[in-house]
């Protein structure tokens, strides 16, 4: 669980960065605009890091005495296919944003400050940044007016409900692997696993909110107050709020999709193994 929590926080860090019915949905350049958003925001690059982050989490769990079954590890890493994740998020952007909103966001992302913010978010998403985040927290929260600005940013970028939904879907994805390790992959449905996960995570939300605040303080520590205020202007604008909402919902949707695919993959693999995926074949450290 220790290693898994660290991995969940890493995945949440990189994230900090109903189908449309209007005629705009048929505009032929929406796919290109969405692809540009994925690239300019750094989301496509960060998604490419996920397999290595997963392997790092597996290694960390093994070091703490919880090696993962060889079949389960293979299926876990394979289910987070980066092309599929990128496609799911991009498709969600296309379905839920109009072209004008996308162009407004691209204008921001292509600005000098927008590029600086994206670089900060990519840097903060690296797994080795976690300990540094804790080291600078006390200093950053003591800066006058800093916490107030960070709380405004948190509200504009991530509503608590969106945070919860994303974290639950990430946890459910890994929960599929845990269920398989217990030998019960055939019995637990996706919806049951999600309901159980949501109940189990309920006591964590207050702590998670504190970690998100810490993460933002660390990520944007290089911005002075004037720069952070300009970033807030964007995040609190209609286009900024819509963009962040759709981006996080899209990422949550991609993880939910991956979790359902993983369950089917694990069911087939464990059935073929006959003995089930029972954790008796630990994978060597990768």
**In angstroms, what CA-CA distances link 97 with 9, 70, 164?**
27, 41, 22
Query: Residue 97 pLDDT more than 60?
Result: yes
How many Å separate Cα 124 from the centre of its chain? 13
Taking the complete model, does pTM exceed 0.95, yes or no? Answer: no
To 5 degrees, how large is the angle CA 133–CA 134–CA 140?
75
pLDDT at 263: 74
What is the distance between the alpha carbons of residues 40 and 114, in angstroms, rounded to a whole number? 9
Of 95-104, 158-167, 268-277, minimum mean pLDDT range: 268-277
The mean pLDDT value for 203-210 works out to 78
pLDDT single digits (tens) 138-181: 888 889 999 999 989 888 886 666 777 777 877 777 766 666 65
Confidence tier at 234 by pLDDT (50, 70, 90):
very high
Of 97-111, 116-130, 210-224, highest mean pLDDT = 97-111
pLDDT single digits (tens) 5-16: 444 555 555 555
The mean pLDDT value for 60-75 works out to 71
């Amino acid at each position: 669980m220790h290693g898994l929590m660290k991995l969940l926080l890493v995945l949440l860090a990189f994230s900090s960065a109903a189908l449309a019915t209007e005629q705009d949905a048929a505009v032929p350049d929406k796919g290109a605009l969405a692809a540009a958003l994925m690239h300019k925001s750094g989301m496509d690059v960060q998604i490419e890091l996920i397999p290595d982050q997963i392997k790092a989490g597996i290694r960390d769990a093994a070091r703490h005495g919880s090696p993962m079954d060889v079949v389960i590890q293979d299926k876990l890493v394979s289910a987070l296919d980066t092309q599929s994740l990128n496609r799911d998020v991009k498709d969600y952007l296309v379905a839920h944003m109009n072209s004008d909103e996308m162009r407004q966001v691209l204008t921001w992302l292509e600005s000098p400050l927008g590029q600086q913010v994206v670089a900060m978010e990519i840097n903060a998403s690296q797994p080795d940044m976690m300990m540094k985040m804790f080291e600078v927290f006390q200093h950053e929260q003591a800066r006058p007016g800093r916490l107030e600005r960070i709380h405004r940013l948190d509200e504009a970028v991530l509503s608590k409900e969106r945070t919860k939904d994303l974290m639950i879907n990430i946890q459910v994805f890994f929960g599929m692997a845990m269920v398989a390790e217990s030998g019960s992959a055939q019995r637990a449905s996706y919806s049951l696993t999600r309901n159980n996960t949501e109940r189990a995570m309920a006591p964590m939300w207050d702590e998670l909110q504190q970690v998100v605040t810490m993460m933002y303080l660390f990520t944007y520590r290089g911005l002075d107050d004037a720069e952070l205020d300009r970033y807030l202007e964007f995040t609190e604008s209609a286009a900024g709020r819509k963009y962040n909402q759709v981006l996080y919902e899209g990422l949550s949707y991609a993880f939910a999709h991956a979790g359902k695919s993983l369950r089917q993959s694990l069911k087939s693999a464990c059935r073929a193994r006959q003995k089930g995926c029972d954790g008796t074949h630990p994978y060597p450290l990768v």
